[in-house]
């Protein structure tokens, strides 16, 4: 899907997210929130008739998601760029509880204009 917004690029530019990622345990929380979760941009809902027309056309809302490996790479990249770490995706990959969105991560991403949809 060709999404106009990119959560990873927004994380790379968000000073609050970057500050949170300094802590390795919080960084793992962000990794977990990127796995098995579709992130939808928070937008003003369409009027009901436009929503019905959109569904009839087979259109679905845009969302952002990534693989577990990519999620680990994204978090490592941000930490490496900002905190002089030498991490790879393996520092986060399969660390457990993938798909979990903590309150801290949810509040951070909501402030950035994203809402989660988890699969369980």
Domain boundaries, the chain: 7-118
Confidence band (pLDDT; 50, 70, 90) for 78? very high
84-to-51, 102, 110 alpha-carbon distances in Å? 46, 26, 28
Strand partners, 38: 117
The residue length of the chain stands at 120
Place of tokens 């999620």: 71
User: How far, in Å, CA of 84 to CA of 55, rounded?
Assistant: 47
Confidence band (pLDDT; 50, 70, 90) for 1? very low
User: How far, in Å, CA of 90 to CA of 66, rounded?
Assistant: 15
Decide if 42 contacts 110 (C-beta within 8 A): yes
Please state, for a pLDDT cut of 90, what percent of the chain lies above it.
Answer: 77
pTM: 0.87
Half-sphere exposure of 18 (CA within 13 A, CB side): 13
User: How far, in Å, CA of 113 to CA of 109, rounded?
Assistant: 6
């Amino acid at each position: 899907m060709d999404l106009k917004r990119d959560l990873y690029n927004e994380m790379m530019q968000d000073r609050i997210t970057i500050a949170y990622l300094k802590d390795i345990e919080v960084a793992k929380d962000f990794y977990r929130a990127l796995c098995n979760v579709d992130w939808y941009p928070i937008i003003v809902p369409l009027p009901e008739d436009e929503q019905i027309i959109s569904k009839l056309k087979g259109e679905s809302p845009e969302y952002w998601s990534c693989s577990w490996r990519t999620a680990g790479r994204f978090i490592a990249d941000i930490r490496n760029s900002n905190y002089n770490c030498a991490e790879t995706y393996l520092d986060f990959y399969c660390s457990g509880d993938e798909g979990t969105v903590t309150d801290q991560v949810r509040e951070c991403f909501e402030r950035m204009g994203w809402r989660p949809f988890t699969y369980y």
